[in-house]
C-alpha cells in the first residue's frame, strides 16, 4: 500500500531549508509550526485502552488551525449543522466573483485591506442589483460568501463564492419576492459593476497601501480587462445546498490525499485541469516552490473568510429566516445530525468506528491517562 503523504511531512523535511532561503511573516510561521505539530506528542493528548484485550494507543491533540489539512472535517460538520437551521424552502444560486491576476501582486502585499474590499464590492454589487427594479426584485437579498485564494495548482487566484437564496425580502420586511427560476442577474452587467466598485475602492486606498513595483500598471490593466462573474442554475433542494457548502466553505489550498510523492527535493500532487473538462493531471514542483505556493494562501490572523450579508447577516438572520419561511409557506424537511456523538458523526462520514479496538476488533477503546505535551526542541 502506498504511504499517505501529508503537508506536514513536506514541512518537516524541507521547511528548515525554506525558512533559510525565503522571507516569512508571523502568520506563515505559526501555520507551518501548527501543521507540523498537529496530532503529535508536541500537543499532548491522552491514552485509550481496549476494554477487551488491553491494547493501548496514544491519541494526540489536533492543532485546530484553519489551514491544516487534518483539522477541517469536524469543524466543517459542526458548521454545517448550524447552517441546516438557516436553510430556506427555495432555490439557491451559486455565483463566483473573480479578480483578474493583474492585481495579484498588489493584493499579496495588502491582503487584509484588499480582501475586505473584495467582500465589500461583492456585497454592494449584489445589493444594488437586488434593489434595482429592472431585475424585478426590489428588496434585500441574503448572502453567504466565502473567500478562496488558490487555483488547483496552488497559484494565487482570488475569488469569492456566493450562495444566494432565490429571492429577496421586501424593503418593508413584509413580503418574500421570489426571483426568476433559472437566473438571478445577468452576469455581464454584474461583472462590470463589480469591477467598478472594487477598483474604485482600491484606488481610494492607494495612499495607505504597500505598493509593489508597477502597481499603477497593474491597476490600469485591470480596468482595461473584462472581469468574470460565474453563475450556476439554482440548487434543487436543501440537501444539495449543504453538499455545496461542504465542498467550499472549509476547503484549504490542498488536501493530503492529493499529494502523491515526496522526495529528491520535489513534491508531486494531482490537480484538476479546468481548461480540459476537469481531467485529473499530475504536477511536480520543487519542494521549496510547493511550500511557497502553499503559504501564499495563509490568510491574516482572525480574518473572517466566511461572511454573511443582507437578511442572512448574523445580527438578524435568526428572525429573518423564520419570517421568510412563514412568508414562503412551504414545508421543508432537512435531516439533522445535531444530536450525534463524535463517534456517530465520524462513522457516518468515514464508515469507520473510531472507538473500535484496531487490534482485536471487538473491544471499545476507553479514555485513559493524559499525555502531557512534549517539546521536541
Q: What is the pLDDT of residues 142-170, one digit of tens each?
A: 999 999 999 999 999 999 999 999 999 99
**Sign of the CA dihedral with 344 first, then 347, 348, and 349 last:** positive
Closest CA to 166 of 150, 152, 185, 179: 179
Looking at residue 2, what is its pLDDT?
A: 60
Report the C-alpha gap between 32 and 24 in whole angstroms: 10
Report the C-alpha gap between 217 and 318 in whole angstroms: 46
Give residues with Cβ within 8 angstroms of 134, minimum separation 6: none
Closest CA to 323 of 184, 167, 181, 182: 167
Residues 319, 324, 329, CA angle at the centre, nearest 5°? 130
- Read off the pLDDT of each residue in 115-138 and give the average, rounded to a whole number: 93
pLDDT > 70? residue 335: no
Q: pLDDT class for 17, splitting at 50, 70, 90?
A: very high
User: What is the residue extent of each domain of the chain?
Assistant: 87-253+296-328
Please count the other Cβ atoms lying within 10 Å of the Cβ belonging to residue 216: 10
CB pairs under 8 A, 24+ apart, for 125-134?
125/97, 125/190, 125/193, 125/194, 125/197, 126/162, 126/164, 126/185, 126/190, 126/309, 127/309, 127/310, 128/193, 129/185, 129/189, 129/190, 129/193, 130/168, 130/310, 131/171
What average pLDDT is seen over the chain?
A: 91
Looking at residue 332, what is its pLDDT?
A: 67
Q: What are phi and psi of 46, to 5 degrees?
A: -155, 165
Looking at residue 39, what is its pLDDT?
A: 94
Distance spanning both ends of the chain, measured CA to CA:
32
Report the C-alpha gap between 88 and 320 in whole angstroms: 10
pLDDT > 80? residue 1: no
Q: What is the pLDDT of residues 39-82, one digit of tens each?
A: 999 999 999 999 999 999 999 999 999 999 998 877 888 888 88
Looking at residue 188, what is its pLDDT?
A: 95
Q: pLDDT class for 331, splitting at 50, 70, 90?
A: low
Looking at residue 337, what is its pLDDT?
A: 66
- CA 280 to chain CA centroid, Å, is 21
Amino acid at each position: 500500500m502506498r504511504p499517505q503523504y501529508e503537508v506536514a511531512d513536506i514541512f518537516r523535511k524541507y521547511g528548515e531549508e525554506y525558512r533559510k532561503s525565503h522571507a516569512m511573516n508571523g502568520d506563515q510561521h505559526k501555520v507551518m509550526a501548527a501543521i507540523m505539530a498537529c496530532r503529535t506528542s508536541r500537543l499532548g493528548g491522552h491514552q485509550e485502552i481496549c476494554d477487551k484485550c488491553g491494547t493501548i494507543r496514544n491519541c494526540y491533540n489536533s492543532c485546530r488551525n484553519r489551514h491544516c489539512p487534518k483539522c477541517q472535517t469536524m469543524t466543517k460538520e459542526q458548521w454545517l449543522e448550524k447552517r441546516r437551521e438557516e436553510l430556506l424552502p427555495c432555490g439557491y444560486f451559486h455565483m463566483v466573483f473573480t479578480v483578474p491576476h493583474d492585481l495579484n501582486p498588489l493584493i499579496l502585499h495588502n491582503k487584509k485591506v484588499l480582501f475586505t474590499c473584495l467582500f465589500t464590492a461583492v456585497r454592494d454589487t449584489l445589493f444594488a442589483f437586488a434593489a434595482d427594479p429592472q431585475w424585478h426584485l426590489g428588496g434585500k437579498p441574503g448572502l453567504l460568501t466565502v473567500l478562496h485564494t488558490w487555483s488547483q495548482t496552488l497559484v494565487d487566484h482570488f475569488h469569492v463564492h456566493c450562495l444566494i437564496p432565490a429571492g429577496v425580502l421586501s424593503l418593508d420586511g413584509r413580503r418574500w419576492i421570489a426571483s426568476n427560476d433559472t437566473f438571478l442577474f445577468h452576469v455581464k452587467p454584474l461583472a462590470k459593476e463589480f469591477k467598478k466598485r472594487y477598483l474604485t475602492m482600491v484606488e481610494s486606498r492607494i495612499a495607505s497601501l504597500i505598493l509593489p513595483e508597477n502597481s499603477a500598471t497593474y491597476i490600469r490593466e485591470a480596468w482595461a480587462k473584462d472581469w468574470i462573474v460565474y453563475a450556476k442554475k439554482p440548487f434543487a433542494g436543501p440537501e444539495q445546498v449543504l453538499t455545496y457548502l461542504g465542498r467550499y466553505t472549509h476547503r484549504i489550498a490542498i488536501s493530503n490525499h492529493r499529494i502523491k510523492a515526496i522526495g529528491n527535493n520535489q513534491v508531486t500532487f494531482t490537480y484538476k485541469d479546468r481548461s480540459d473538462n476537469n481531467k485529473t493531471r499530475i504536477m511536480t514542483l520543487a519542494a521549496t516552490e510547493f511550500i511557497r505556493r502553499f503559504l501564499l494562501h495563509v490568510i491574516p490572523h482572525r480574518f473572517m473568510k466566511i461572511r454573511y450579508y443582507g437578511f442572512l447577516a448574523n445580527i438578524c438572520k435568526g428572525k429573518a429566516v423564520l419570517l421568510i419561511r412563514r412568508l414562503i409557506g412551504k414545508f421543508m424537511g432537512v435531516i439533522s445530525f445535531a444530536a450525534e456523538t463524535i463517534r456517530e458523526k465520524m462513522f457516518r462520514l468515514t464508515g469507520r468506528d473510531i472507538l473500535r479496538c484496531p487490534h482485536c476488533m471487538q473491544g471499545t477503546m476507553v479514555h485513559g491517562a493524559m499525555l502531557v505535551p512534549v517539546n521536541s526542541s
